[in-house]
Structure 1
Amino acid sequence: MKKLVTAVLMLLLVPTLSFASEENGIDTGVTAWMITSTALVLLMIPGLAMFYGGLVRSKNVLGTMMHSFAAMGVMSVLWVAVGYSMSFGENILGGWIGWNWDYFFLKGIDTTIMEEGVPEYVFSMFQGKFAL
């Protein structure tokens, strides 16, 4: 029982100790989790395609699945073109939308480290928003 209590206390204290350090470097745990969650989101596309394929007649399954994959390709191009700039640019129109011409087609992305501890180029490469 004593070992169990010690193990539980260690599990509760380890996250608080990791947040106590005040480094401006890359947080490898946050970056690894962002990459993992992005991979999980990308695995959702085939699952969604199979789900939609199960809702239609058998002769339309391939066409329905290809619609999901084509939409993924279109959205990737749109994210690179204007999505990152709209998501992480300065607020305009009362905060309804953001825009920064420096991020248009990802041209202003560099190797600076964001407040979350994630390098900006990794942040844009994996198309993820991150919030603590």
Structure 2
Amino acid sequence: MLICSALVMLMTPALAFFYGGMVRVKSTLNMLMMSFISLGIVTVLWVLYGFSMAFGTDSGGVVGWNSDWVGLSGIGLTELWDGYTIPVFVFLVFQLMFAVLTPALISGALADRVKFTAWALFIALWATVVYFPVAHWVWGAGGWAFELGVIDFAGGTAVHINAGAAALGVILVIGKRVGFKKDPMRPHSLPWSCSAPVCSGSAGSASTPAPGSATTTASAR
């Protein structure tokens, strides 16, 4: 399970290289950091309250909460996740990798559109208001989608649809890139972009469940 977590984590730097190769040279560093910063910000939020919101005791099918999990202070090292044979900490780390990846997916739509500081603030706000509750809907016991019997293959709902909808909404609000259709915006390194799917593709196999099983269920068991 920890190996699967490490492989899923590789998808974030793979995205950074993919997006970094698709932008102009002057935007490369910013594009790389927009993906990597997600690893730092979301990890802190996940430890503080994100895991509790996503997998804590259900409240109206919308969000979860468990005060014992805030800051991970109430989680024992040998405590097993309900119904599974893995420790809670291992399950937490595996789910963290998906939480980190999702904002990184959005960053590609915002190339040359936002400042790095604004992006960092967006990650913190969006993860708290959108990702953590949606993760509870789909994967948390009691979540409204979970109770409907929704099966989320490899994060198709909580990760990919969620990130895609967020990216579309943000670019509709922000508008076109500065210099769009005026300045040349050719990708500066196609080898970067072509090599990234090799890493993300092999890592993705660690998160793809067996037919008929949800990601968290198949992988954890």
Deviations 1:12-43 (A, max 9, x none): xxxxxxxxxxxxxxxxxxxxxx2122111111
Query: Would you say 1:50 and 2:136 are equivalent positions?
Result: no
For the Cα contact (< 8 Å) 2:56–2:66, is it kept in 1? yes
Flag structure 1 segments of 5+ consecutive residues without an equivalent. Answer: 1-33
Query: Would you say 1:79 and 2:79 are equivalent positions?
Result: no
For the Cα contact (< 8 Å) 1:79–1:127, is it kept in 2? no
For the Cα contact (< 8 Å) 2:4–2:94, is it kept in 1? no
1:2-21 equivalences under 5 Å are none
Moved over 4 A (4+): none
Q: CA deviation at 1:88?
A: 1.9
SS, match of residue 64 in structure 2: strand
1:49 counterpart letter in structure 2 = A
SS, match of residue 217 in structure 2: coil
Partner of 1:120: 88
2:88 counterpart letter in structure 1 = E
Q: CA deviation at 1:58?
A: 1.1
For the Cα contact (< 8 Å) 2:80–2:88, is it kept in 1? yes
- RMSD of Structure 2 on Structure 1 (CA): 1.6
For the Cα contact (< 8 Å) 2:2–2:94, is it kept in 1? no
Query: Would you say 1:99 and 2:65 are equivalent positions?
Result: yes
TM-score, reference length from structure 1? 0.67
For the Cα contact (< 8 Å) 2:52–2:67, is it kept in 1? yes
Structure 2: distance between partners of 1:76 and 1:113: 21
Flag structure 2 segments of 5+ consecutive residues without an equivalent. Answer: 96-138, 140-215
May I ask how many residue pairs the two structures share in their alignment?
A: 97
2:20 counterpart letter in structure 1 = G
Query: Would you say 1:131 and 2:182 are equivalent positions?
Result: no
TM-score, reference length from structure 2? 0.41
